[in-house]
Amino acid sequence: MLPTNRGRPQQRPPPPRSWSFLSEMVDFSDPKRRPRYLTKLVMAALLTAMCVLMLTQPPCHRRASPSVFSTRQPGVTHVLLTGGAGYIGSHAALRLLKDSFRVTIVDNLSRGNIGAIKVLQNLFPEPGRLQFIQADLGDPKAVNRIFAENAFDAVMHFAAVAYVGESTLEPLRYYHNITANTLVVLEAMATHNVKTLIYSSTCATYGEPDKMPITEETPQFPINPYGKAKKMAEDIILDFSKSKKADMAVMILRYFNVIGSDPEGRLGEAPRPELREHGRISGACFDAALGIIPGLKVGQ
């Protein structure tokens, strides 16, 4: 006689639990469920990648919507001012804005002063007057994007490293920053049909002339990498402007001993401490003006 089990039917013990992440989410034994979960995983990965890409883009590459800077307005001249956070560039921006020009400043702030930008923004807060884009002219894609997203009527090219002594220590840096970057700006102007250029050069292109005073007819024989890089940039600009394809209006400025500040004291020269030895003003003068030392005594 076979034994009879009068109790409740015994249940099979549960299978061992898998601690695999994918096993928890997807039952791969069910071929109908597998594609759906894999699709969700792929979509989640793509969305995450897109978010990371957007967050890591430089500020100048993210534009919410077209602005007044991207369209031409009758009676308003829109000037691209490179190096507008620098000493000479910021004063040029101030004058342009006072004269009712629309100004876009592009500066990588390697030598420029963000404080100058803030001063200008506070003085001219009205929409459509001033915008600042932090970008490097050594990046052709960034420069081309800036031209594509803005309607420029003219370019004032001030951006450059500008110390004679430093240029003898780092000549390649000066040729890249001055000559090569100017070529990038010219190519963008040609691509986007901008026909007016004011170029900030230097008296260093004259070298040590035989006769004084220096005039427009004085031969240019630069003797240091700074002057040579500027002279090369001038030659490129003039050669291109004379070509039939360019049809450009060009002005070249060569400065002698630029010094001083805005008469109302809103802007002035403010080199970084490590660059004071290369500047036009003694570091002791800066220390006295800032109150770091009580004053200066000038000997006989």
107 neighbors 82 (Cβ within 8 angstroms): yes
- Angle at which helix 181-191 crosses helix 225-242, to 10 degrees, equals 20
- Mention every residue, 6+ apart, whose C-beta is less than 8 A from residue 267: 90, 91, 94, 116, 119, 261
130 neighbors 124 (Cβ within 8 angstroms): yes
CA 77 to chain centre: 21
Catalytic residue selected from 87, 174, 206, 226? 226
Asked if 226 is an active-site residue, the reply is yes
Tell me, what amino acid is at 99?
Answer: D
What gap in Å lies between CA 201 and CA 109, rounded to an integer?
19
What gap in Å lies between CA 85 and CA 113, rounded to an integer?
5
Q: Which residue has the tokens 């008296």?
A: 203
- Tokens for 94, please give them: 């101030």
- Residues labelled catalytic: 226
